[in-house]
Structure 1
Amino acid sequence: PSAGSVSIFVPLEHAVLAREVTSFDRTKMFARYSLVGALASAVGALAAALPEFITPFGLMQLTAIKLMFVLYAVVGVVGGLFYARIPPRPVSHADVKPAALGPSRAIVLKLAALFSLDAFAGGFVVQSLLALWLFSRFHLSLAEAGVFFFWTGVLSAFSFPVAAWLSKRVGLINTMVFTHIPSSLALGLAAFAPTLPLALALLLVRAALSQMDVPTRSSYVMAVVSEAERAAAASFTSVPRSLAAAVSPALAGALFAASFRAWPLLICASLKITYDLLLLWQFRHLKPPEEG
């Protein structure tokens, strides 16, 4: 999805989904929500190889790539139709009306700043830039890249239920931090990998660990604010993330152009480890209700 659609829909979805489950089921629910989205993204990555497969049938590669943009737009329209078919929820007197940030403002501001640092770091290694690095360093083909990113998406997807299981045993913050740090180390090591198989192996390790903070992060934000503040908190932590993630790809592109091709990976890994340590330091004592 585009950054704009994420900024609009995701905060509302998070607030609505958190309202429908108990505290003990909240992380599991976010894991299932993230699992579906990640599997869909994995299929999309695999579909990126379609132009290379259909050009032998007489279609020019540029035309095939343009058709992929048309397909992207069609899928977006279909997604909008699915949203339109969601039935409205009956209004109850017990419902809590959404409100602006109040008692939780300081917590949300800190989380938004940390999540923005994480998103800024991630922007140095967005999928397109990582593919470019693999193309330039190891001459990976478009079809091979599509298959590789499909499997990274699958690994990420099935890490979400594992994250929900792990969070019940070690807590949300610990799950976020102690899965994220090894994934960043794997990314940093991949920058120095001398062969393609080793680089891909390290990146697969990263894929299996790096997204385990996604359902746990969403669950934590919904847990540490009041129910009335959930929509505002989700928006306030999501929008700065989108803005921060929009800045770093340009910086990474400049590094690529200057032939510093490993630097984006190293910068991403370093900043993400910094984020993890700051998150642990700031929030290790603020427990969600189910961990109290």
Structure 2
Amino acid sequence: MNSSVHSHLLWARGLRAFADGYVSLLLPLYLLALGMGPFQVGILATGTLFGSGVLTLLVGLYAHRLKYRVLLSMAGLLMAGTGFGFAAVTDFWPLLMIAIVGTLNPSSGDVSVFLPLEHAVLSGAVDEHRRTALFARYSLIGALAGALGALFAGAPDVMAATANLDTKTALQAMFVLYGVLGLVSALIYATLPMEVGANEQNVPPAPLHKSKRVVYTLAALFSLDAFGGGFVVQSMVALWLFEKFQLSISVAGAIFFWTGILSAFSYLAASRIANRFGLVNTMVFTHLPSSVFLILVPLMPTLSWAVLLLLARSALSQMDVPTRSSYVMAIVPPEERAAAASITAVPRSLASAASPLLAGYLLGASTFGWPLVIAGGLKIIYDLLLLGTFRNIRPPEESDRKR
């Protein structure tokens, strides 16, 4: 794959992450402005994750029959339709339908259909010894753009003050921008070569066969992690901060900007740590302390302490993202990578889909922060199970180092 294709994918990743960064914060505010409560916010977040999971699963099963360029371009158009739909519709049930079929992302990370498609293309860009670094760069760009998007979430306040707009109209303008960024992404994908992703390994994409057992085991473990993560998707953490500390969107945006920056640079550290200690060890031993921090956040007596722990968690919690992606791509045959990426990514939507609904219910009943405690506990269980199951299944580059 030439460098222009590589750069095109990274540009599209950055645009989408920027849009996700501000939409994940503005979504609960927009729904509250429409007269909905925390439980309805949770239902909408659940709908977005459930729909993304179903679509990603379909891609995993049938991506080998279509061209990656076509699938990515179609996904970009779907993103555009999602943004324009949320800007135009204000009733709960139509919004829920748009959330289910669209690409809206209540999380700070990428849980959409774009992820497995781009992973499958990128995995053929470099040899196995540089693959983790490439995924770290991909994640770094997404995290930096997402952090800028979180900071941009304060734009509706500026628009309301300078352009004499009401809050609802200013928020709808941000969803229109989300749709425009989807159109731009679709145009970027449309410039990719038609055969991109098909021949890097001289084999066509295929459904799971040789790696079925290991991929399904990983998918089950990722389901547990994703279910826990669904309690603390960015929209729900933002909602907790709004309800608990009465934060303005500008202050919340600044907080999530810095959590995004810390997550971004942790991706670079993840690559170096993985080169020395291995992918599975990096995934587990950076994730464990971040989960402990998450449990402690609601116990903090002041906003300052809570934010400090959220920042500490962000410096560690995302190191497993590039390492996890690299590990999945490493231990399956090249022709099964698209299917493996999709089927292990699906839990990040499907298994987490019920969690925001439960988190919304818990936040409606109490401002303590039970969703954060539950998420941290589930993630610790996931880490221990992952270590026990996969510590002896090494990717090729680690096996080479052992020899």
Bin of the TM-score, shorter chain as denominator length: over 0.9
Which amino acid counterpart does residue 30 of structure 1 have in structure 2? F
CA offsets, 1:12-68, max 9 Å, x none?
Answer: 211221112111100000000111111111111111111112222222112111111
Residue of structure 2 aligned with 1:38, choices 118, 127, 143? 143
Residue of structure 1 aligned with 2:185, choices 79, 86, 92? 79
Residue 123 (structure 2) pairs with residue 9 (structure 1):
no
Residue of structure 2 aligned with 1:121, choices 228, 240, 245? 228
Normalised by the length of structure 2, the TM-score is: 0.70
Aligned pairs for 1:1-292 within 5 A? 4=52, 5=103, 6-57=111-162, 58-89=164-195, 95-259=202-366, 261-292=368-399
Which amino acid counterpart does residue 73 of structure 1 have in structure 2? G
Which has the higher mean CA deviation after the structures are superposed, 256-265 or 36-45? 256-265
CA distance in 1, matches of 2:274, 2:200: 33
SS where residue 129 of structure 2 aligns? helix
Checking the alignment, whether the CA contact within 8 Å between 2:244 and 2:367 is kept in structure 1 is no
SS where residue 207 of structure 2 aligns? coil
Which has the higher mean CA deviation after the structures are superposed, 88-97 or 44-53? 88-97
CA distance in 2, matches of 1:251, 1:94: 43
Which amino acid counterpart does residue 69 of structure 1 have in structure 2? F
Checking the alignment, whether the CA contact within 8 Å between 2:240 and 2:367 is kept in structure 1 is no
Q: CA deviation at 1:92?
A: 5.7
Q: CA deviation at 1:140?
A: 1.7
Which has the higher mean CA deviation after the structures are superposed, 87-96 or 234-243? 87-96
Change (3 A) 1:178 1:92: closer
Change (3 A) 1:71 1:24: same
CA distance in 2, matches of 1:245, 1:93: 33
Checking the alignment, whether the CA contact within 8 Å between 1:7 and 1:235 is kept in structure 2 is no
In the alignment, structure 2 segments of 5+ residues that lack a partner are 1-19, 21-47, 53-102, 104-110
Superposed CA RMSD: 1.6
SS where residue 113 of structure 2 aligns? helix
CA distance in 2, matches of 1:38, 1:86: 23
CA distance in 2, matches of 1:168, 1:92: 27
CA distance in 2, matches of 1:92, 1:197: 52
CA distance in 2, matches of 1:88, 1:33: 22
Q: CA deviation at 1:208?
A: 0.9
Which has the higher mean CA deviation after the structures are superposed, 232-241 or 157-166? 232-241
CA distance in 2, matches of 1:206, 1:102: 37
Q: CA deviation at 1:261?
A: 3.5
Partner residue, 2:16: none
Which amino acid counterpart does residue 340 of structure 2 have in structure 1? A
Which amino acid counterpart does residue 75 of structure 1 have in structure 2? L
CA distance in 1, matches of 2:290, 2:312: 7
Structure with bigger RCO (C-alpha 8 Å, 6+ apart): 1
CA distance in 1, matches of 2:364, 2:115: 34
Normalised by the length of structure 1, the TM-score is: 0.96
CA distance in 2, matches of 1:95, 1:270: 44
Q: How many correspondences in the alignment? A: 292
CA distance in 2, matches of 1:124, 1:39: 23
Change (3 A) 1:225 1:186: same
SS where residue 24 of structure 1 aligns? coil
CA distance in 1, matches of 2:308, 2:199: 52
CA offsets, 1:233-289, max 9 Å, x none?
Answer: 111111232111221000100111111632100000000000000000000000000
Q: What is the percent sequence identity of the aligned residues?
A: 58
Q: CA deviation at 1:198?
A: 0.6
Change (3 A) 1:260 1:93: closer
Q: CA deviation at 1:10?
A: 1.6
CA distance in 2, matches of 1:17, 1:92: 12
CA offsets, 1:100-146, max 9 Å, x none?
Answer: 11121110001001111111111101111111111222222111001
Which amino acid counterpart does residue 257 of structure 2 have in structure 1? F
Q: CA deviation at 1:93?
A: 9.9
Which has the higher mean CA deviation after the structures are superposed, 50-59 or 65-74? 50-59
Which amino acid counterpart does residue 167 of structure 2 have in structure 1? Q
